[in-house]
Amino acid sequence: MSAADIPILSIMIALPVLAAIACLYLRGEGARIAALTVTLAELLLGIWLWISYDPAGSQWQFVENIDVFGDLLGWKLGIDGISLMLIMLSVFLMPICIGASWRAIGNRVGEYMAAFLLMEALMIGVFAAQDLMLFYIFFEAGLIPMYLIIGIWGGDNRIYASYKFFLYTLLGSVLMLIAMLWMIQTAGTGYIPDLLQYDFAPEAQSWLWLAFFASFAVKMPMWPVHTWLPDAHVQAPTAGSVILAGVLLKMGGYGFLRFSLPMFPEASAQFVWLIYGLSMVAVVYTSLVALVQHDMKKLIAYSSVAHMAIVTVGLFAFNQQGIEGAIIIMLSHGLVSGALFLCVGVIYDRLHTREIGRYGGLSVNMPKYALLFMLFTMASIGLPGTSGFVGEFLALAGLYKVSTWATLIATTGIILGAGYMLYLYRRVAFGEQVNADAAAMNDIDGREIWLLAPIAAVVLWMGVYPESFLSPIRRDVAVIVARIERAAPAGDSRIQAHDKATEKYRVKADHGAAPQHDDKTKPGSAH
């Protein structure tokens, strides 16, 4: 029996929900075992989904379609290659989050595990939903378990951070809900594959695009609506930071990719200056802010904003390379930032501080930890051979075809990124041992190796053989590019001008017309 013969997406959503309900009635150890068992089962189902997915088959696969409230709401699920990769990221990180919480969480364990399992179901629902209102329900419901995770199991200032996270992300989505209702009324359907082919009026597109932008920009997060992220990361427990940086931030990029670009191509071109402007500020500003941080979590949080800015410019490059690169950065950042937060959690569990100045010389007494931490630091910078390099190279190559200046500024972010990440690593691993407690810490144990080693393996796999991750998305990216290329904005890149000139020459040659020359280049003209 193949995955296409069973409602595998519904099973992957229902299984964590049922397990979450069960965890509410289990004691600590039982809840931990149940959560780990179910998340590993979800990972196996995800692998089966990936193996069963046919990149050369129909665009939407594993489709389920049940009408609930007619055109307004239906249980409509299905995935393409882009959804597949993001679902795989979600199910891969979730058992690692459960393992990271095994000893760190001692109170209300059943409720904690239930919150993570519910989060997993909602994340899969976001990436699999093919109904507009169903997507909105999954998209917004994901706020609730994360709000609880930060607000109940977070740090000393957790109430402030959880409220800020909730209000920022909820307020932007109110406008998106209004836009969705208008779209359903106008197009007569909320079925996303149909809406992807529907041409909204250009003047309506502008307002719809801005309404969706209000939600997705906060979720990414883009500057200047990024301020909730450092607070949320600092206060969240380690596993909460892993899933927040690993998957929840990717929902904004997925929204741009699934809705803003293909549904509103003319408006996307109209507002491309806004995307580039905010992204350029974010790349430089948040990188400079990261350079002066004393808290490890805050430094990694600000680096996330800078990386997501490169994602947005790649998505709005309006070409295959840029969009493929942006998706690979999303996958890579999900793995690498999650691993970096796990690395912070490892030493925080031992010394109970995130102050960079309290550590130093850990490579002496924690060599295994220092090696893994170095790998993830290098991947964050974008060292060739790691996942970070592939995505950044493709995204910037795509952006260079559109804007030379935007590419120049985005590249400075990579240079600054090398500055703050290497500075962090030098101080923690090779700095002076100023704290006797830090010098006496034990190296990572077997459980922590099992948490970090799989991420390290995938980071290297993606860096050495990225085709495994590019082949499922290539056809779907080409469909998006074919949809938006009619609206591609004129850029300042010489490559773009050369490509257009070459295309013009080719078209005229195909029609048998002699190519026209400027007066300066006519035979016999004076120079």
pLDDT at res. 44: 94
Assess whether pLDDT exceeds 60 at residue 520: no
Q: Tell me if 387 sits within 8 A of 459, measured CB to CB.
A: yes
Say what the pLDDT of residue 516 is.
Answer: 47
For the chain, give the mean pLDDT: 84
Q: Tell me which of 398-402, 439-443, 469-473 is least confident.
A: 439-443
How far does CA 461 lie from the centroid of its chain? 18
As a whole number of angstroms, the distance between CA 438 and CA 431 comes to: 12
The count of other CB atoms within 10 Å of the CB of residue 525 is 10
Torsions phi, psi for 266 (to 5 deg): -65, -40
Residue 498 has pLDDT above 60, yes or no: no
Position 343 pLDDT exceeds 60: yes
Question: What is the per-residue pLDDT across 350-372, written as a single tens digit (0 to 9) for each?
Answer: 888 888 878 877 888 888 888 99
Write down the domain spans for the chain: 271-510
d(CA 493, CA 28): 59
pLDDT in tens, 400-424: 888 888 888 888 888 888 888 888 8
Please report, in angstroms and rounded to a whole number, the separation of the first and last CA atoms in the chain. Answer: 74
Give percent above pLDDT 70 in the chain: 91
Task: Note the pLDDT of residue 193.
Answer: 87
pTM value? Answer: 0.86
Give tens-digit pLDDT for 300-317: 888 888 888 899 999 988
Task: For residue 69, name the pLDDT band (cuts at 50, 70, 90).
Answer: low
> Do 338 and 246 contact (CB within 8 A), yes or no?
yes
Among candidate residues 139, 355, 334, the one with its CA nearest the CA of residue 241: 334
Model confidence at 523, pLDDT cuts 50, 70, 90, reads very low
Which position has the token pair 């088959």?
57
3-state SS, one letter per residue, for 305-317: HHHHHHHHHHHCC
Check residue 444 and give left, alpha or beta (phi > 0: left; psi -120 to 50: alpha).
Answer: beta
Contact 321, 478 (CB under 8 A): no
Please report the pLDDT score of residue 521 as a whole number: 41
Provide, rounded to the nearest whole percent, the portion of the chain with pLDDT above 90.
Answer: 18
Residue 123 — pLDDT band, cuts 50, 70, 90?
Answer: very high
With cut-offs at 50, 70 and 90, classify the pLDDT of residue 236: confident
Burial 77-91 (b: 16+ CB within 10 A, else e): bbbbbbbbbbbbbbb
Nearest to residue 382, comparing CAs of 372, 373, 392, 374?
A: 392
Across 15-19, 124-128, 486-490, least confident range: 486-490
**pLDDT over 60 (residue 73):** yes
Cα 492 from Cα 210, distance rounded (Å) = 25
In our burial notation (b when 16+ CB lie closer than 10 A, e otherwise), range 245-266 reads bbbbbbbbbbbbbbbbbbbbbb
| Segment 424-428 mean pLDDT | 87
